[in-house]
């Protein structure tokens, strides 16, 4: 890692980044862009976001702090933080390859072999290699410990049979981080799990798109039928899968900072809801004159500020060393549920117009708020449902007794 930059160096870098994103951030591509990486539906959206990620990478503002020998920029992480901050300032499109640069990449940089780093990292950054995640299963949901997709060693290959579901970008990915069962023996269910960096284009792997409540796609179900992948795709040793999956979740749940940069979700700002309320009326009067409305808005703003401050605590090493990462779990649960409540609240004062959706001439802001509300449920499921988060926090963080 390069030495810590001086304030003057950071200021120069921020000025350069500001000029670049001001000049290059696309404002209106002429079609609807996804709010998150979990709802990329069309080839047009996919191609556009691939091109945008590649452009940001080639300009040096994505992967800026990853080592040069693997395709990164070799700069201090403070430079990447500035680049991502400026990216958000200009409200650029999301980074498409969230699983790759957000979770799989940091994992490989953390515990991967030299060969794995050289093989995978650059393709993640420039969007040539899209990644997906094979954790959830149709019968087991977010209960990763009960994963049943089987991987049986046969010579120099593993033979895969089973299914994964809620796989974002699974139909477009080249690789999958895959949790599979290689044994039913051992002291507990976790001992028989193994972790693979699996290709997605092997014979016997099929995907089926799942239509979401919003009418968009993005999730798929993946079917593995005697699919053969090279044995070298195994990460670590057989039986290490649970430990490696938990390390992956450190990035997915935000316990560790994503040093590659970029952002994958368009998060709502409470001020946007304030502006919406400012333009609305109830009983012929501005909605913001209603004291109850003011109280609710202030509550949301306080919640957002608290979550942002809590987010800063993730950089304090001693606060994120515990298992199962109480701070990250709490942040994930609180933020996703708060966004769902905020978007629902935004619909509540649109009256009957709140029922109109995207492209309907009667819809407020072309249905943006309605779409945001429906999409907000995705984040309360991805990375572990809110119900699972509450159970883990209750049993393993607070030490409450398990339910029957």
373 within 8 A of 344, measured Cβ to Cβ? yes
The mean per-residue pLDDT over the stretch 257-271 comes to 78
Q: Cis check for the bond before 138: say yes or no (omega within 30 of 0).
A: no
Residue-level pLDDT at 58: 97
In degrees, rounded to 5, the angle at the alpha carbon of residue 251 between the alpha carbons of residues 248 and 252 is: 85
* Range with the poorest average pLDDT among 23-27, 50-54, 199-203, 397-401: 397-401
Residue-level pLDDT at 330: 86
326 within 8 A of 389, measured Cβ to Cβ? no
Strand pairing of 175-181 and 131-134? parallel
Residue-level pLDDT at 165: 93
273 within 8 A of 297, measured Cβ to Cβ? yes
Task: Name the DSSP letter for residue 161.
Answer: E
- What is each CA distance from 313 to 197, 213, 250, in whole angstroms? 31, 35, 14
Residue-level pLDDT at 123: 97
Residue-level pLDDT at 128: 97
Reported as a single tens digit per residue, the pLDDT across 301-346 is: 898 888 888 877 776 766 666 666 777 788 888 989 998 999 999 8
Residue-level pLDDT at 142: 66
Report the alpha-carbon distance of residue 235 to residue 107 in Å, rounded: 10
Residue-level pLDDT at 320: 66
Residue-level pLDDT at 161: 98
Residue-level pLDDT at 163: 96
Residue-level pLDDT at 56: 97
Tell me the average pLDDT of the chain.
89
Residue-level pLDDT at 349: 81
- Provide the whole-model pTM: 0.87
Residue-level pLDDT at 321: 67
Q: Is the pLDDT of residue 137 over 80?
A: yes
Residue-level pLDDT at 9: 95
Reported as a single tens digit per residue, the pLDDT across 210-256 is: 988 888 888 899 999 999 999 999 999 999 999 999 889 878 876 67
Report the alpha-carbon distance of residue 65 to residue 245 in Å, rounded: 24
2 within 8 A of 77, measured Cβ to Cβ? no
Q: Is the pLDDT of residue 379 over 90?
A: no
Reported as a single tens digit per residue, the pLDDT across 203-219 is: 999 999 998 888 888 88
17-21, 264-268, 389-393 — most confident range:
17-21
The mean per-residue pLDDT over the stretch 267-271 comes to 74
- 18: helix, coil or strand? helix
Q: Is the pLDDT of residue 404 over 60?
A: no
């Amino acid at each position: 890692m390069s030495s810590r930059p001086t304030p003057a160096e950071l200021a120069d870098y921020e000025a350069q980044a500001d000029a670049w994103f001001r000049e290059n951030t696309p404002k209106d591509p002429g079609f609807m862009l996804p709010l998150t990486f979990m709802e990329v539906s069309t080839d047009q959206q996919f191609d556009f976001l691939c091109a945008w990620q590649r452009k940001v990478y080639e300009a040096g503002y994505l992967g800026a702090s990853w080592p040069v020998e693997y395709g990164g920029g070799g700069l201090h992480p403070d430079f990447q933080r500035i680049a991502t901050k400026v990216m958000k300032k200009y409200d650029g499109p999301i980074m498409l390859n969230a699983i790759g640069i957000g979770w799989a990449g940091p994992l490989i940089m953390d515990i991967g072999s030299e060969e794995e780093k050289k093989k995978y990292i650059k393709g993640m950054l420039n969007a040539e290699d899209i990644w997906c995640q094979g954790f959830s299963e149709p019968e087991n949901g977010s209960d990763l410990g009960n994963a049943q997709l089987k991987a049986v060693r046969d010579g120099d290959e593993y033979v895969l049979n089973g299914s994964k579901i809620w796989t974002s970008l699974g139909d477009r990915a080249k690789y999958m981080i895959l949790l599979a069962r290689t044994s039913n023996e051992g002291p507990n269910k976790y001992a028989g799990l193994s972790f693979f960096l699996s290709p997605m284009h092997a014979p016997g792997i099929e995907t089926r798109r799942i239509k979401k409540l919003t009418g968009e796609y993005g999730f798929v179900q993946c079917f593995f039928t005697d699919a053969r992948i090279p044995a070298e795709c195994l990460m670590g040793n057989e039986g290490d899968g649970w430990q490696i999956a938990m390390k992956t979740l450190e990035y997915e749940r935000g316990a560790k900072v994503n040093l590659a940069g970029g952002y994958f979700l368009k998060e709502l700002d409470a001020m946007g809801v304030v502006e919406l309320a400012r333009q609305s009326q109830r009983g012929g009067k501005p909605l913001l004159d209603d004291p109850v409305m003011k109280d609710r808005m202030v509550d949301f703003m306080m919640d957002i500020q608290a979550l942002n401050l809590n987010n800063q605590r993730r950089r304090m090493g001693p606060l994120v060393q515990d298992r199962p990462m109480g701070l990250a779990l709490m942040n994930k649960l609180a933020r996703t549920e708060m966004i769902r409540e905020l978007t629902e609240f935004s619909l509540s004062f649109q009256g009957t117009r709140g029922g109109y959706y995207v492209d309907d001439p009667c819809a407020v802001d072309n249905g943006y708020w309605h779409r945001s509300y429906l999409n907000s449920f995705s984040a309360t499921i991805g990375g572990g449902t809110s119900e699972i988060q509450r159970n883990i926090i209750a049993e393993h963080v607070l030490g409450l007794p398990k339910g029957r």
